Amino acid sequence: MSKKLQLIIAYSFLTGSIFSQEIIEPSVKKIKIEKESYFVKAAFDEADYKVIAFDRYGNPHSQAIKSFTIKYVDGKTTYEAPVDGNIFPNKTIQFLTKKRKYATKICLSKIIAEDKDGHFEKLPELCDIVIFPDCKKVNTK
């Protein structure tokens, strides 16, 4: 074999290895993993004045709600009352149903639920809930 042919073969091996995929660094792609939340939404139980969480399969969990905040507007003033647990305080129920003469629109925000593994999840707000005052007997004379 001639030296010229040997140089051509050596050159082709060297240039071929330079452009091969093993030498060029592959681009690293990131995989984004999102944790699926166990609870999807919350609902207000008008009969018992409590908040219930629903999982992604539609099953209700009455003891999952750990805290929430009640907001309502009276005139130009906005009131907020934080609540621990899932049941409205008696003082709030009495105020909204007995001491007011007209319906009150409330919003439940900062709803925190705890799943079976002890992880806390923030649920979407519940707004446009209307609480009506208790009916009173009216004399029609």
Asked whether residue 86 is assigned to any structural domain, the reply reads yes
Asked whether residue 141 is assigned to any structural domain, the reply reads no
Q: What is the pLDDT of residues 118-135, one digit of tens each?
A: 889 999 999 888 888 877
| Global confidence as pTM | 0.67
Asked whether residue 15 is assigned to any structural domain, the reply reads no
pLDDT > 70? residue 75: yes
| Average pLDDT, rounded, for the chain | 82
**3-state DSSP assignment of residue 3:** helix
Asked whether residue 59 is assigned to any structural domain, the reply reads yes
Asked whether residue 32 is assigned to any structural domain, the reply reads no
pLDDT of residue 99: 78
Using an 8 Å Cβ cutoff, are 108 and 69 in contact?
A: yes
Place of tokens 């660094």: 25
Provide the number of structural domains found in the chain: 1
Q: What is the pLDDT of residues 27-51, one digit of tens each?
A: 778 888 877 788 889 999 888 889 9
Asked whether residue 12 is assigned to any structural domain, the reply reads no
Domain that holds residue 122: 39-131
Task: Count how many residues are written for the chain.
Answer: 141
pLDDT of residue 110: 93
Asked whether residue 60 is assigned to any structural domain, the reply reads yes
Residue whose C-alpha is closest to residue 50's, from 97, 86, 95: 86
